[in-house]
Amino acid sequence: MCGVRVLGIDPGLRITGYGCVEDAAGATHALVEAGVFRLGATRTAGIPDRLAELDEDLRALLVRVRPDAVAVESLFAHYAHPATAIAMAHARGVILLNIRRAGLRLVELRPNAVKKFIAGHGHAGKGQVQAAVRGALRLAAAPSPPDVADALAIALCAAWRLRG
């Protein structure tokens, strides 16, 4: 798929990173937009409030960047932090519902596959992912916070896979 626009999303209940890239000629990609949704500005904001915020922010983003496909990390759980997977599942549910409602193509990617694609190995650290994304998109500085770099890495990996 040449000329495809892919939105990558790094789900979270406090910070959700997003990054949209457009697949250009050859192996180059252009940055369309990237940032984070900071959910629940107050410590008292509960999960339903954060999910409603995420829903509203994501709807606006989909209208603004008009992606052809949306890529999201698949759900994973670390044995030492099982509650993290549950929290991320809430955010993923809102994201997946919005993708479905918008009629967009969904690409789900394992975190280790994204890291291997962008940084060369599946256990790359945050700094390595940031540096690799910076190089891949020829940015003046590494994307920050790391959630933005993760989302851009997801988008780049999905664009590569969609290219076939």
Structure tokens at 3: 């000329």
Per-residue pLDDT tens over the stretch 112-137: 999 999 999 999 999 999 999 999 99
Structural domain including 108 reads 5-163
Residues 6 or more apart whose Cβ sits within 8 Å of residue 36: 15, 16, 17, 18, 145, 147, 148
Where residue 78 falls among pLDDT bands split at 50, 70, 90?
A: low
Of residues 50 and 88, which shows the higher confidence score? 50
Backbone dihedral region of 40: left (phi > 0), alpha (psi from -120 to 50 degrees) or beta? Answer: left
Residue-averaged pLDDT of the chain = 91
Tell me which of 22, 53, 57, 73 is the catalytic residue.
Answer: 73
CATH classification of the domain holding 31:
3.30.420.10
pLDDT exceeds 70 at position 68:
yes
* Structural domain count of the chain: 1
pLDDT exceeds 90 at position 42:
no
Of residues 23 and 4, which shows the higher confidence score? 4
Q: Are the CB atoms for 164 and 4 separated by under 8 Å?
A: no
126-137 vs 111-119: helix crossing angle, rounded to 10 = 50
**Cα separation values, 156 from 88, 99, 100, 103, 139, Å:** 21, 18, 21, 21, 14
Tell me which of 10, 23, 53, 150 is the catalytic residue.
Answer: 10
Rounded Cα distance, 68 and 76, in Å: 25
> What predicted TM-score, i.e. pTM, was given to this entire model?
0.93
Backbone angles phi, psi at 110, to 5 degrees: -75, 140
Tell me which of 22, 53, 57, 147 is the catalytic residue.
Answer: 147
Decide if 57 is catalytic.
no
Mean of pLDDT values over 31-57:
91
Decide if 150 is catalytic.
no
* % of residues, the chain, pLDDT over 90: 76
pLDDT exceeds 60 at position 2:
no
